[in-house]
Amino acid sequence: MIIKGKVHKFGDDVNTDEIIPARYLNTSDPKELAAHVMEDADPAFPALVRPGDIIVAGKNFGCGSSREHAPIAIKAAGVACVVAESFARIFYRNAFNIGLTIMECAVAAEAENGHLLRVDAATGKIANLDLGREYAAKPIPAFMQELIAAGGLMEYVRKGLMK
């Protein structure tokens, strides 16, 4: 899958309280969650984000709570991919489980707001079309690739692979 989208840039330690504040967690409806995505990091973001856009961030993206509402909100807002220098452990796991494409790549995080990125989800190749630079994301562990190939964790379970 090739993703080509406009960058929305965030910093280090973007936490789940910023991605989807707990005051909105009285629902798990993806649409309602998407309406408030990243609101406490950038109040303008829910109105600005367009389907196919890419979030680029620094270290430790998604730290804090285990709420799966965070990757769900990002995915439901139409964000095609999150590229970060690194991800917090639970967010990383949740993103795979719900089918949000994420890429760990320290150098690609030099992208600025509005840059156009091309991400090849299969090979982990990332290109910044504005800077004319190419990067390689950290490879996805083999086991995670099996999960993705099965269609996510619940499909993996349903197909009787979890044994």
Partner 1 sequence: MPRPMTLGEKILARAAGVKSVSPGDIVLATLDLCLGNDITAPLAIQAFYQSGGTKVFHRRKVVLVPDHFTPNKDIQSAEQAKILREFAREQKLVYYWDQGEVGVEHALLPEQGVVVPGDLMIGADSHTCTYGALGAFSTGVGSTDLGAAMLTGKAWFKVPPTIKLIFKGRLPADVTGKDLILTAIGRLGVEGANYRALEITGPVIDRLSMEGRLTMSNMAIEAGAKTGIIPPDDITRAYVEKRAQRKPRYYQSDPDAEYERVEVFDVTGMEPVVALPHLPSNVVPVSRARNVVIDQAVIGSCTNGRIEDLRQAAKLLKGKRVSPRVRTIIMPATPLIYRQALKEGLLDIFMAAGCIISPPTCGPCLGGHMGILAKGEKAVATTNRNFVGRMGHTGSEVYLASPAVAAASAIKGRLALPKEVRGSNWKVGVKK
**Shortest separation between residue 93's beta carbon and partner 1, angstroms:** 6
Residue ranges binding partner 1 (CB under 8 A):
13, 15, 17-18, 21-23, 25-28, 40-41, 59-60, 63-69, 71-72, 86, 88-90, 93-94, 97-98, 141, 143, 152-158, 162-163
Q: Which residues of 40-54 are buried (b: 16+ CB within 10 A; e: fewer)?
A: ebbeebeeebeeebb
Burial classification of residue 163, based on how many CB atoms lie within 10 Å of its CB (0-12 exposed, 13-18 middle, 19 or more buried):
exposed
Provide CB contacts within 8 A for 25, sequence distance 6+: 67, 69
**Shortest separation between residue 90's beta carbon and partner 1, angstroms:** 5
**Shortest separation between residue 89's beta carbon and partner 1, angstroms:** 5
Q: Which is nearer to partner 1, 39 or 117 (CB)?
A: 39
